[in-house]
Amino acid sequence: MLEIFVINALSDNYIYILRNEHKNITSVIDPGEAEPVINFLNNKRWNLDEVINTHHHHDHVGGNAKLLDIYKSKLIAPIYENDRISNIDILVSDNETINITGIHTKVFHTPGHTLGHVCFYMPKEKCLFSGDTLFYLGCGRVFEGTMDQMWSSLLKLKSLPDDTSVYCGHEYTLSNMKFANYIDSNNALLNKFSLEIKNKREKGLPTVPFNLGVEKKINPFLRADDDNFIESVGFSGNNASKSFGEIRLKKDSF
């Protein structure tokens, strides 16, 4: 059985530690810094077998070098970012199936935030590690790719089953929620989950993981192909990809 531990890092990053007790394998996803991971592992008396990156940004890979040095872990990262992430042992690409923490995992190439970004999906465990592609009520800024690419990437994630638990790279939920409420104020389900989000954040609790099925109904960035929604925000007549771009730009200046 897979255990997932959520570690706070830097100002608003999440690092995930994955533990397979049965196989005695421990992995970390996106260690933006090493210290909180080392402290956690010391406490548990676990070694670190695998370091995994979704993309090359420093707040996701900043702890790589120190962790690889201390634990001699294997580094698993996207083939598309081989020139931007050092010392990769196992290069992964789109639609490949690999083992992470001894668990069957599918890789999705999701360009947009960076050109080589990948997400990791574990079908049996029903969980998705979405990095900076999909956030709770939001999506990553489109830094390197095009709006078309980011929309296609989000569609890949949207096609996963509703009962998927999503673990994203940042705690941006409150600010994403403000924007979602601004453009989708009559969404009863969004209002319901907004209360839950506020309660969690008031207590300092993480809002991850979140449910993908709910997300498909309340995340404005996943609804660029929902004609009624698009009409309600005044973008009617565009194709979904264009609508997505307009929503993204609106959020950028919100």
CB of 59 to Fe ion, least distance (A): 6
Distance CA 3, CA 227 (A): 39
Nearer to Fe ion, 33 or 132 (CB): 132
Nearer to Fe ion, 52 or 183 (CB): 52
Pick the piece of the chain touching Fe ion (CB under 5 A) from 34-42, 52-60, 67-75, 100-108. 52-60
**Cβ(244)–Cβ(221) under 8 Å?**
yes
∠ CA(135), CA(31), CA(59), 5° rounding?
A: 65
CB of 223 to Fe ion, least distance (A): 23
Query: What residues have CB less than 8 Å from 198, skipping those under 6 apart?
Result: 174, 177
CB of 140 to Fe ion, least distance (A): 6
Distance CA 220, CA 225 (A): 10
Nearer to Fe ion, 25 or 138 (CB): 138
- What is the Cα Rg of the chain in Å? 18
* Residue 170 within binding range of Fe ion, rule CB under 5 A: no
Pick the piece of the chain touching Fe ion (CB under 5 A) from 9-17, 38-46, 80-88, 128-136. 128-136
CB of 200 to Fe ion, least distance (A): 23
∠ CA(27), CA(29), CA(45), 5° rounding?
A: 35
* Residue 132 within binding range of Fe ion, rule CB under 5 A: yes
**Cβ(251)–Cβ(184) under 8 Å?**
no
Nearer to Fe ion, 19 or 60 (CB): 60
CB of 113 to Fe ion, least distance (A): 6
* Residue 57 within binding range of Fe ion, rule CB under 5 A: yes
∠ CA(178), CA(181), CA(183), 5° rounding?
A: 110
- Residues found near Fe ion in the complex (CB under 5 A): 57, 132
